[in-house]
Structure 1
Amino acid sequence: MVDMGMINVAMDILYKPGSSISPLLVMLLVNLTQLDVGVTSLLQTGDEKMQGLYVMKLVRSFCRSSDEASEDPFEHVGSILVNISKQEAGRKLLLDPKRGLLRQIIRQFDSPSPLRRKGVSGTIRNCCFEAESQLQNLLLISEFLWPALLLPVAGNKIYSEQDRSKMPLELGSALSIEREPVDDPEIRVQALEAIYLITLQEAGLRAFWSVNGPRIIQVGYEDEEDLKVMGAYEQLGALLINSSGTEEPTTETSN
């Protein structure tokens, strides 16, 4: 189907005025992008003038349609974004600071739609596989990135004023009130894996300490009951413990 140009056909119909089958077309794109050739087609790889245009359109629709109360024809775009971010070319497109796509996507992390939240979480996690070469671009959106990664794994306790004083405002404010826990363990695992990938890099580790991230991980772990999620906490915790001899004093000095 991809070889027959179905990606192009689906995108053309999807963006025709008055299209009434948007959800079906989006689901078709979800299925087609499970194949590498489908991702390549959607990315428009090889066409310098058009490359990334389809993805930009889908991201724009994904972010705009969340305001529609009655139906959400583009909520499954989150799954498309997960699929394309499994490929290096897709991750680089999403992380391109000139396009600002990940910045737009990440703002959907607190959407009431579970599908949207899972799509955003999986996309961020996949993009963090580029942390070694794209850490600067990830940290450029840190004001959105850290809340998206840390709030799902922070538990639902109210954090002390002392803890919050070492966090940026957007994190500290959210952790000063009672919160609904993130019930989906997959989202929590993806958030922890993304943090792990970032903190493998020295600059990423420093950035994590600077927002009091280790304290959030400690508190979140105390209330975790899912074994798989606990394993992800422990993997990250081991990395933090092994690096704390060099990183923690530096962070404390700078505060």
Structure 2
Amino acid sequence: MSILKITLITICCFWSVYVNAKITIMTEDFAPFGYYDAQGKLTGIGVELVQAITEKLNVDSNIQVLPWSRAIKKLELLPNRALFCVARTPARNDKFEWVGPILSDGVYLYHTNDFDSSKDTIQSAKLWKNIAVTANYPEHQVLTELGFDNLWITNQPQENVRLLIYNRVTAMVAGEFAMPSLLKSLEMDGTDVVRSEISLFDIELYIAFSKGTDPQVLRKWQNALEELKSSPQYYQIRQRYTVPTQ
């Protein structure tokens, strides 16, 4: 057998292994998207949606739960990784491959009801004493780009809630999906927490894959997602995690 044929066969074998390599799926512990319930089972709206997709694809649905910063770093550096639920921001767009969106969420400033923001705007909120926001989240980047220099940077969204409840900050940033679950997970009374009318942005959440993931794999995941979104199952999953409008 010629050296050329051996080389071609070797390349094909390596390519086959690469294309068919198992995708390691990751998320963070952040309700309602992914969290452990009272029985210690991983659940959440993102978890259920991804598990429904993997069931359609007949692939392993084992999900690694990691701190957000570590998961993002693995996604940037390692092949065959997938992470949900990830906001597709301009800064991230070219770093990863994308399947979605799987969900959309509105992001607002929240404060306690003893603070009046009825006459405030995004611009006047820059004069507030401080605003809690989690590092490396899209809202952190948005507020920084808008020129906010009154940010209290935290490592976890739960820290933002504690700071707000104990009056250490004027306000915090959260998505409408996330805020009720954050309060519930900390067993905190959220009756005095109100959503301001200051909307930062509407965020679309995706499954992000390592750069260079095989397009055929991405296409299969996207097709399975579209099939799921057109089914009653998708709306049943959403309904379980949707807070009724007051």
Greater relative contact order structure (CA < 8 Å, 6+ sep):
2
The normalised TM-score by structure 2 is: 0.27
Structure with greater proportional helix content: 1
